[in-house]
């Protein structure tokens, strides 16, 4: 009979140990979720519809959208320069950013395509304006 009880103890010991490890993992996940939530709330306060351009910088956009290439970083810089010069409405830039930020993957691609699409809907040729910046 003692053999059976040791098997139960070892089973329960494994079960409880796994439960404790699970709690530790859940606490880590909870910490990560809280950090991400706090960061997203902080970044969203600067991207509301009536926000000023100075609150959202090109570097913040590059970091949040995880721009992978130098061309993507240049695209963000060009978009902000066009907003600064008054050739691109700030609302279009902010709405494209907000839409892309909510996507779980490939946020940069969503930003680029959304910005291009919204510009064509309004009648702005974004590629021609970007070429004009480099001359």
Q: pLDDT by residue for the chain (135 residues), tens digit each?
A: 555 555 555 555 555 555 555 555 566 666 665 665 566 655 555 444 444 445 889 999 999 999 999 999 999 999 999 999 999 999 999 999 999 999 999 999 999 999 999 999 999 999 999 998 876
Distance of CA 91 to the CA centre of its chain: 18
**What region, left, alpha or beta, does residue 124 occupy, with left being phi > 0 and alpha being psi -120 to 50 degrees?**
beta
Cα–Cα distances (Å) from 106 to 28, 52, 120, in that order, read 25, 26, 22
Q: How far apart are CA 27 and CA 32, in angstroms?
A: 9
């Amino acid at each position: 009979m003692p053999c059976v009880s040791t098997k139960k103890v070892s089973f329960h010991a494994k079960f409880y140990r796994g439960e404790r490890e699970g709690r530790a993992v859940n606490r880590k996940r909870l910490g990560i979720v809280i950090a991400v939530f706090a960061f997203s709330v902080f970044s969203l306060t600067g991207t509301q519809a009536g926000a000023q351009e100075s609150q959202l910088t090109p570097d913040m956009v590059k970091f949040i959208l995880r721009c992978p290439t130098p061309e993507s970083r240049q695209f963000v810089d060009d978009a902000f320069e066009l907003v600064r010069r008054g050739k691109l409405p700030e609302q279009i830039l902010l709405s494209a950013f907000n839409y892309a930020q909510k996507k779980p993957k490939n946020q940069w691609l969503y930003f680029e395509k959304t910005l291009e699409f919204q510009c064509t809907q309004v009648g702005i040729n974004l590629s021609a304006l970007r070429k004009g910046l480099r001359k």
